[in-house]
Structure 1
């Protein structure tokens, strides 16, 4: 019950009291929370945020209060707290549904947030034809000399676009567009569907190419249907849950119509979203069942290659490398050993432990646009740790991490390269 004059949650996609009442306030989550580590403020940690979510639910705090809005935005939704919570609190669901409530009740606060929400979510990620068109324009800008001119002229700073422009991914020379491709393996053991995603197909096409080659090498046929689309992860994180459901239905239906045995993904954030489609449809029994059935067949590329085994590498990869845990691979999917085990089998690759490897780098989807100050602090923290390793290569498993790390390393004047796990694995074969 909400007190008079205090606006609480509506029934649609509200944070569940059965989840927030699970929290016993033990505080074991605090050392794992990136924003708490940076601020040492109770409300900037999971325990404090759960208290705020509960206060709104019980009518003690207005949904639109500045403190609540700020904390729901400042949370990275990295899920590090979930991995250490002894009570099994599904914190991510709480934050995501709280954001959905805010989206209904309170407008976005900054120009960056507005641009990310309406231009990004409603146009680019929902209609991938627009994404490819925008990517072609960005590629021309990056490769024609216009980018250098714009940066040197000071125009970007004058227009307040410097941070947004610097956060843009380097667009691939060629795109990996899903168009019904079939890649056949010799003596195949199974058929898998590759999730082409959105950003991955225009800015990380080389990762898809390496993924296909590693799957073929491991005796998997690969199909890439044209009908698939964005996984919906960024929409969920932004509180646009109904939009995420629309995107999820498209991917579920595409997989159901195929003859593929498994659905393979090479982006940690996408994989986490794809594996939680059942929960996404919590109030729709029919789609919840279809979502759960779909999610049961989803595998991260590292997870699958470790499960089925890969051929012994045939060439050395000479590098001093360190592995950065992507949050939604390590915390949401609990996949940490498999990538390291696969990399350990490569001759010549020296793996160096990274301090605070599982602390978020500050990318977190569109977080560096909506919360640029905290994103920059976490980026610096991560880059400082990377530089202590003396590595010349950092390996990760998520496009957002790769973009954030590359930008941070460049700003620090480092020549350290950033590559995906599957790219490094693929280099180990002649």
Structure 2
């Protein structure tokens, strides 16, 4: 590290141990007075009781590296990467300290000082650089997974005990894998504009996402259905790519910037960018942070971020038709962290649920606490993720038939919780419920024929 140029973002003595580019911003920690209001909001602190795994502890560590008091080493990296980046601390903080932004910048510094090596480095490079940014490769993976599900291989794997040789958390993920549907990127590849059902009132562009379009193509289709039902024309820009959230969370900010530039250019002519994945939406809105040292791209990123809207907020703000048909389901709602804490969207999805006739809505206690998914945290930190999930499941009412939310990672994680605790609740995306009610209005598809993620392990 000594051979690389460093600057001091906050120290007049010039002793900062950060690299000169893209270091944590002093303005983000300057208002932290270590009051402790964040402690009870932090999942990792609640589990460990350790100061370094609390928001204020992490802020102190990040500041200490800037002041040259500690090094960019494993002792610093562990609490930084143990963070779920759920943003609940910022919601709790009286000064709105942007701990999430600091964590992501610090992770970028750690990965410059300590790049992943061996099998971890190879796996990270394969998925983050070799797979997620490329739609065609994702479609190939989707095809292989569909073959696995429909050929009988999946059934054989589950009945012969092969899953028992896999790590427990990976076996659990396989057991709740949803039945894969058609990618909307492929379905509409030759369509420039998906028409509104009535007189068009607006034209919106849709981020299809990488994981969402592969694992949850039916949710993407429901999003299109609801938008067009409410008289929106929909475009799916062909050159869009992965949002880069997973890359930024992993400390690969350079790839994150590359993907951000591609998306900014892909949606340049769009008036509104609608997103149905909380993590993706939050990442898109935070693109300006990736270009804080590049004025030209920062300006373009700011213009882009202003266009980004979660599907529930967009529908709420522009007005949506209240369905007439009844779903007759007991439903509760889980706040995805990057929707509630990252984007401040809380009321809108709840109102959508309450506007569906027959829905018996029950508020989930501590609804905005993290479920433990946090991107790929449940893969990289499975023990902590499971502990956080256990705490979450304690608050889920046992009699609810559906748990609604607005993020694919949360859907998979909560499905594992439902399976672990022997619940029968279906895990659904909020926009799906509105779509199903509209379909019942049109008498085209009854609810019991629509696919949903379940926790029963049969895929």
TM-score w.r.t. the length of structure 1 is 0.93
* Counterpart Cα distance in 1 of 2:360 and 2:117: 45
SS in 1 for 2:184: coil
Map 1:159-174 to 2 at 5 A: 160-168=166-174, 169-174=177-182
Deviation at 1:311, TM superposition (A): 1.2
Deviation larger for 145-154 or 211-220: 145-154
- 8 Å Cα contact 1:184/1:220 also seen in 2: yes
Deviation at 1:319, TM superposition (A): 0.4
- Pairing partner for 1:103 from 103, 108, 111: 111
* Counterpart Cα distance in 2 of 1:21 and 1:56: 14
- The CA deviation string for residues 173-217 of structure 1, in whole angstroms up to 9 with x for no partner, is 322226253211121111000101101111111111111111112
- 8 Å Cα contact 1:139/1:170 also seen in 2: no
- 1:57 is matched with 66
- The CA deviation string for residues 101-128 of structure 1, in whole angstroms up to 9 with x for no partner, is 11111133895x5465222101121112
SS in 2 for 1:311: coil
Deviation at 1:154, TM superposition (A): 4.2
- 8 Å Cα contact 2:38/2:93 also seen in 1: yes
- Pairing partner for 2:82 from 57, 69, 74: 74
- 1:319 is matched with 329
- 2:233 is matched with 221
Map 1:134-145 to 2 at 5 A: 134-145=141-152
Please say if 1:183 is aligned against 2:194.
yes
- 2:247 is matched with 235
Deviation at 1:372, TM superposition (A): 0.7
- The CA deviation string for residues 196-243 of structure 1, in whole angstroms up to 9 with x for no partner, is 110111111111111111111211100112111111111111111110
- Segments of structure 1 that go 5 or more residues without pairing to the other structure are none
Please say if 1:422 is aligned against 2:431.
yes
Deviation larger for 146-155 or 92-101: 146-155
User: How many equivalent pairs are there?
Assistant: 422
- Kindly report structure 1 stretches of 4+ aligned residues shifted beyond 6 Å: none
- 8 Å Cα contact 2:164/2:171 also seen in 1: no
Deviation at 1:21, TM superposition (A): 2.4
- The CA deviation string for residues 257-278 of structure 1, in whole angstroms up to 9 with x for no partner, is x3x3211000000000111112
SS in 1 for 2:86: coil
Please say if 1:205 is aligned against 2:217.
yes
- 8 Å Cα contact 1:116/1:366 also seen in 2: no
- Segments of structure 2 that go 5 or more residues without pairing to the other structure are 1-7, 442-459
- Pairing partner for 2:420 from 387, 393, 411: 411
- 1:146 is matched with 153
Map 1:310-389 to 2 at 5 A: 310-386=320-396, 388-389=397-398
SS in 2 for 1:191: strand
* Counterpart Cα distance in 1 of 2:353 and 2:158: 38
Deviation at 1:146, TM superposition (A): 2.1
Deviation larger for 16-25 or 310-319: 16-25
* Counterpart Cα distance in 2 of 1:67 and 1:357: 32
- 8 Å Cα contact 2:326/2:357 also seen in 1: yes
- The CA deviation string for residues 50-92 of structure 1, in whole angstroms up to 9 with x for no partner, is 111111111111111x331111111011111111211121111
- The CA deviation string for residues 143-198 of structure 1, in whole angstroms up to 9 with x for no partner, is 3332343344444443x445335325435132222625321112111100010110
Map 1:255-294 to 2 at 5 A: 255-256=267-268, 258=269, 260-294=270-304
- 2:92 is matched with 84
- 8 Å Cα contact 1:266/1:300 also seen in 2: yes
Deviation at 1:18, TM superposition (A): 2.4
Report the CA distance shift for 1:357/1:301 in structure 2 as closer, same or farther (over 3 A).
Answer: same
Deviation larger for 318-327 or 31-40: 31-40
- 2:204 is matched with 192
Map 1:15-34 to 2 at 5 A: 15-34=24-43
TM-score w.r.t. the length of structure 2 is 0.88
Report the CA distance shift for 1:118/1:170 in structure 2 as closer, same or farther (over 3 A).
Answer: farther
Deviation at 1:305, TM superposition (A): 0.3
- 8 Å Cα contact 2:398/2:423 also seen in 1: no
Deviation at 1:251, TM superposition (A): 0.9
- 1:128 is matched with 135
- 8 Å Cα contact 1:233/1:273 also seen in 2: yes
Deviation larger for 14-23 or 393-402: 14-23
- The CA deviation string for residues 291-346 of structure 1, in whole angstroms up to 9 with x for no partner, is 00011011100000000111121201110000000000000100001111111111
Deviation at 1:136, TM superposition (A): 1.7
- 8 Å Cα contact 2:194/2:234 also seen in 1: yes
SS in 2 for 1:183: coil
